[in-house]
């Protein structure tokens, strides 16, 4: 066999350096195209699961009304009269009150409050933001918030009022119509607290935090303009503490949040929607009409 034929066969049996670099470049381009696509599919699945969580919570609210005639309340900050008795926990919010209606009756009847606080409920976790089943500062938390209207003090014109404040909400009080009124939605949080696992602000446990921004949100008016949903923030506690973020709706989704209306339907509400329309959506009895396409 001639030396030239041997060299030809050696050259044909492997890549040259240039060919190898071309292959690496092609693989890199394919990966650059594939990774965003995978992330987009994953986020789409997370949004669907998040919407399903809110659907289940909305059904639980309706089941609660069917049994009690009124909507769950937002709790209070006063300690319960008897912490060992599950029936006397007035400072616990709607997150606790609807547990029997989301197949969590065992947790509802748990006599140890510390155990309740330390138990994650996956229905309350948005998978775009949190790992299911994970504890934060050793507690279970909640990514969803009841609608207090425009009133962060008592929720007088929303769907979930403060425990002990006036009449509890009935369907007949929703004079704007159940399809025109927000019942619950995702809440904006400070991701630094989430990543570090610190408490508190809006990163307290889902059940024992009482009436505050942990499980309540509002179309809070700042200089007369309602805060609309926005993407999660990432700021230091010193910047975060005096802000309005802890009463603002929002999410970890890229374009908007999920919300469930008083009729039980789940809607996507985009960031940057009209502050006026969003205020009208949150207030149950202002007589204003709007188009859901505004959101």
pLDDT attached to residue 7: 47
What the block records as the tokens of 91 is: 């400072």
In the predicted structure, residue 118 carries a pLDDT above the cut 70: yes
- Dump pLDDT digits (tens) for 20-72: 777 777 777 776 666 555 555 576 678 789 999 999 999 999 999 999 999 99
Q: Are 149 and 283 contacting, i.e. CB atoms less than 8 angstroms apart?
A: yes
pLDDT, average across residues 104-112? 90
Which sequence spans correspond to the domains of the chain? 10-294
Instruction: Identify the CA nearest to 152 among candidates 226, 204, 78.
Output: 226
In the predicted structure, residue 122 carries a pLDDT above the cut 90: yes
- Dump pLDDT digits (tens) for 127-146: 998 888 888 888 898 999 99
pLDDT attached to residue 190: 83
Q: Are 264 and 57 contacting, i.e. CB atoms less than 8 angstroms apart?
A: no
- Residue 113's pLDDT band (cuts 50, 70, 90): confident
In the predicted structure, residue 196 carries a pLDDT above the cut 70: no
CB atoms within 10 A of CB 114: 13
Under 8 Å CB-to-CB from 34, ≥6 apart: which residues? Answer: none
Q: Give pTM, 2 decimals.
A: 0.82
**Average pLDDT of the chain?**
83
- Residue 231's pLDDT band (cuts 50, 70, 90): very high
Helix (H) or strand (E) holding 184: strand 182-186
- Dump pLDDT digits (tens) for 234-245: 877 666 555 667
* Residue 99: alpha-carbon gap to chain centroid: 17
Name the residue with higher pLDDT: 102 or 239: 102
Name the residue with higher pLDDT: 79 or 259: 259
Q: Are 124 and 112 contacting, i.e. CB atoms less than 8 angstroms apart?
A: no
Name the residue with higher pLDDT: 204 or 133: 133
DSSP state of 272: T
**Do the bridges between strand 216-217 and strand 221-222 make them parallel or antiparallel, or are there none, so unpaired?**
unpaired
């Amino acid at each position: 066999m001639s030396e030239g034929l041997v060299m030809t066969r050696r050259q044909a049996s492997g890549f040259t350096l240039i060919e190898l670099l071309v292959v690496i470049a092609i693989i890199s381009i394919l990966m650059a195209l594939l990774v965003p696509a995978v992330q987009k599919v994953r986020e789409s699945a997370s949004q669907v699961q998040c919407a399903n969580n809110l659907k289940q919570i909305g059904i639980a609210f309706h089941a609660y009304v069917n049994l009690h005639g009124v909507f769950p309340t937002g709790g209070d900050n006063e300690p319960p009269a008897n912490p060992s008795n599950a029936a006397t926990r007035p400072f616990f919010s709607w997150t606790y009150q609807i547990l029997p209606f989301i197949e969590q009756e065992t947790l509802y009847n748990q006599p140890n409050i510390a155990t309740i606080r330390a138990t994650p409920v996956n229905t309350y976790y948005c998978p775009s933001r949190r790992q299911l089943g994970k504890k934060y500062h050793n507690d279970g938390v909640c990514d969803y918030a009841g609608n207090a209207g425009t009133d962060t003090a008592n929720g007088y014109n929303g769907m979930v009022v403060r425990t002990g404040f006036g009449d509890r909400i009935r369907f007949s009080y929703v004079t704007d119509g159940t399809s025109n009124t927000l019942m619950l939605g995702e809440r904006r949080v400070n991701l630094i607290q989430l990543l570090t696992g610190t408490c508190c602000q809006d990163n307290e446990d889902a059940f024992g935090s009482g009436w505050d921004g942990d499980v309540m949100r509002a179309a809070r008016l700042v200089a007369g303009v309602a805060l609309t949903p926005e993407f999660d923030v990432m700021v230091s506690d010193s910047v975060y503490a005096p802000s309005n973020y802890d009463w603002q709706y929002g999410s970890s989704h890229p374009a908007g949040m999920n919300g469930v209306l008083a009729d039980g339907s789940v809607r996507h509400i985009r960031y940057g929607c009209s502050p006026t329309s969003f205020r009208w959506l949150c207030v149950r009895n202002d007589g204003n009409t709007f188009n859901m396409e505004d959101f």
